Structure 1
Amino acid sequence: MNRIQAFALAGFLAFPLAAQAQPAPGDLNMHWSEGAADCKAHPQPPLQVHRYNATTYILRENLCSTFEAPFMYLLIGQTRALLIDTGDVGDPKAMPLAKTVMGLLPRGLPLLVVHTHRHMDHRAGDPQFARLPNARVVGYDIASVKRFYNFAQWPEGLAHLDLGGRVVDVFPTPGHNETEVSFYDRNTGLFFSGDFLMPGRLLIDDARADIASAHRAVAFLKDKPVSAVLGGHIEMNAHGGLEPWESRYHPDERALPMTKVDLLALPAALESFNGFYSESGGFTMINPLRILKAFGLGVLIVIVGGLWLLVRFVRRRRRRAAA
């Protein structure tokens, strides 16, 4: 075999491997309900389902069902399926999440239910699945998360969920919440980031942990294909502004998908965070606990100052009366 033939054969053999490395395509052209200014006058279906491809579904609870309007993600493998988060509404009559999810699965396929973090708007639907024979719900507390994924050196570590012909990588991304984890689907190249990274307010409990998480995420994904970054909520309009707090009406909502470029820009934005509220590079970062503490301190100062002035006033009145 001459050198030209050898190179040709090597290229031929490498082609299928390169093709396999490309993410499975899917549809990111999503259309979500805008909710309503008056949900009683304009009732909405409680749950929407978007088919990304034949084995990947994006679900969202309607704004009229909960202003959180969280997203959930269903990934179907050959031997089991994975559901990431269970939303903000537990009542199966008001939110038929389990019925909808099980209806999307091949009959008898086991389901693993996990969470991006422990906040109620990402786990309220757990009881709907706990009663199902083919479903396993992973605990949301930090001990359960560490144990299930075998994260012995939290927040370091990398876990792999094998769904049968489909592997999902899981790694800790605390900062928004101490239990936060993110998921990377090798099959589609989708990165499921929960509230760690989303088109909305980045609420930060621990800024130092959040910065470290952003650097770990970038280090893990910088050389991998990322089809889209899909977060837990949408809180921004199409012009880059924030939707009002607890709004049930998003008439001009921006699209859900963020990009790898957004992820790569996250560490620098977080490093510029002032610890209370700041905007940088299209990110809005807030530490609600610090703001609450500062507000409480301000109220306390006003009360103490008012009492001090009142005491001085009373003393002066008494002195004048005595004179």
Structure 2
Amino acid sequence: MSRLKPSIRLGAAIFLAGCLVGTPLAGAQAEAPPALFAERWIDGTNGAEPATQVQALDADTFVIRQSVKTNFEAPFLYLMFGRDKVLLIDSGADGGQIRPTVDRLIAEWLAANKRTSIPLVVAHSHSHGDHVAGDAAFRDRADTTVVGLKPADVAAFFGISPWPDAIAQFDLGGRKLSILGTPGHQAAAIMVYDPRLKILLSGDTLYPGRLYIPVNFLGDNRASIDRLAVFARNHPIRAVLGAHIEMTRTPGEDYPHEAAAHPDEHPLELPPSSIAELRAGLRAKLDVPDQGQVHDRFIIMPVSARAE
């Protein structure tokens, strides 16, 4: 998500092409999302909820959700440990209390592993404000690197050359991640693939919600998803994990923009078949802003042209 989004609802005109007109993509309901989390995510429906919630995927991988009570974006962040360093993907939206949560998780991991320190890298799924607002809290943290926000910064740090076509390897120490440049939603967007857990961290490019694409970057977005589809054919993906939830469990139904609560949320997890579904949907013309292409688990939403 980003602050460039217009207020839209499912009632926006459905813009589908060819055989997709009026129907979800064939097979959209054939694969159930995998269930990775034991707890229900905080969703604003309880009068009191913590500023963040953490669920572990294993002893070295933690998913953090910022409460919708602190910011309507309610983003998800990812903390991944290796032997030599720990990677945080995104630092949260305005109003978040992300650094105390990250510091606690790192302290607990160090104690469990009988360690005294580990370097932290703060990177971003992309550079919109609801994913970078917490950066300032980490800039004075010892042994911490905050990756820059421009495509050139991201490409240089991870070694994605040429950007965005190459796939970089980022080794946390005994845990080598693949970093894919995926501009389209935003110019510096990346995805992160973890072969250990077979998860793909997809940011705002693919998640259960409204996939906003500036019309002047539709070509970039299509090219990114084409590259992703090739990658997915050659790498086992158990689940796609994005940065937000904006869909309900009712197929094709989203929440109002800036909703204060998310009752009956769609799971965070998307099945890997969502990649092919998104790729097929992007074949439509999609050149009219605010006319959404509705799928069961996401809505492709072209928006007005933007600088980045």
Q: TM-score, normalised by structure 1?
A: 0.76
Identify the residue that residue 113 of structure 1 maps to in structure 2.
122
Of 60, 71, 80 in structure 1, the residue corresponding to residue 76 of structure 2 is 71
Sequence identity of aligned pairs in percent? 34
Does the 8 A contact of 1:80 with 1:163 survive in 2? Answer: yes
Give yes or no for contact 1:46–1:95 (8 Å, CA) kept in 2. Answer: no
The AA in structure 2 aligned to 1:150 is: G
Partner of 1:220: 231
Deviation string, structure 1 residues 154-191 (Cα, Å, up to 9, x no partner): 22111111011101100110110111011001111110
- Asked if the contact 1:47/1:96 (under 8 Å) is kept, the reply is no
Q: What is the Cα deviation at residue 101 of structure 1? A: 3.8
CA RMSD of aligned residues (A): 2.1
Q: Radius of gyration: which is bigger? A: 1
Which structure has more helix as a fraction of its residues?
1
Q: Which amino acid aligns with 1:99?
A: D
1:103 positional shift: 3.2
Give the structure-2-normalised TM-score.
0.79
CA distance in 1, matches of 2:101, 2:304: 32
In the other structure, the counterpart of 2:257 is 245
Check if 1:278 corresponds to 2:292.
yes
C-alpha distance in 2, partners of 1:90/1:251?
22
* Structure 2 residues not aligned, in runs of 5+: 1-33, 111-115
- Asked if structure 2 preserves the Cα contact closer than 8 Å seen for 1:90 and 1:126, the reply is no
Superposition map of 1:41-190 within 5 A: 42-89=47-94, 92=97, 96-106=100-110, 107-190=116-199
C-alpha distance in 1, partners of 2:285/2:72?
Answer: 27
Cα offset for 1:27?
A: 3.8
1:208 Cα offset (Å): 0.9
Conserved in 2, the CA contact under 8 Å of 1:175 and 1:204?
yes
Structure-2 change in CA distance of 1:260 and 1:278 (3 Å): same
Q: How many residues align?
A: 262
What SS does the corresponding residue of 2:205 show, helix, strand or coil? coil
- CA–CA distance in structure 2, aligned partners of residues 188 and 76 of structure 1: 12
SS of 1:160's partner is strand
- 1:256-267 alignment to 2 at 5 Å? 256-267=268-279
Deviation at 1:98, TM superposition (A): 3.7
Q: Give ranges in structure 1 of 5+ residues lacking alignment.
A: 1-24, 293-323
Name the structure 1 match of 2:246: 235
Q: What whole-Å deviation, never above 9, does each CA across 1:215-256 have from its counterpart, x for those lacking one?
A: 100101212111110001000001121011001211111100
Give the direction of change, closer, same or farther, for the CA distance of 1:43–1:201 in structure 2 (3 Å limit): same
Q: After superposition, give the CA deviation of every residue in 1:199-221 in whole Å (9 maximum; x if it has no partner).
A: 00000021111111111001012
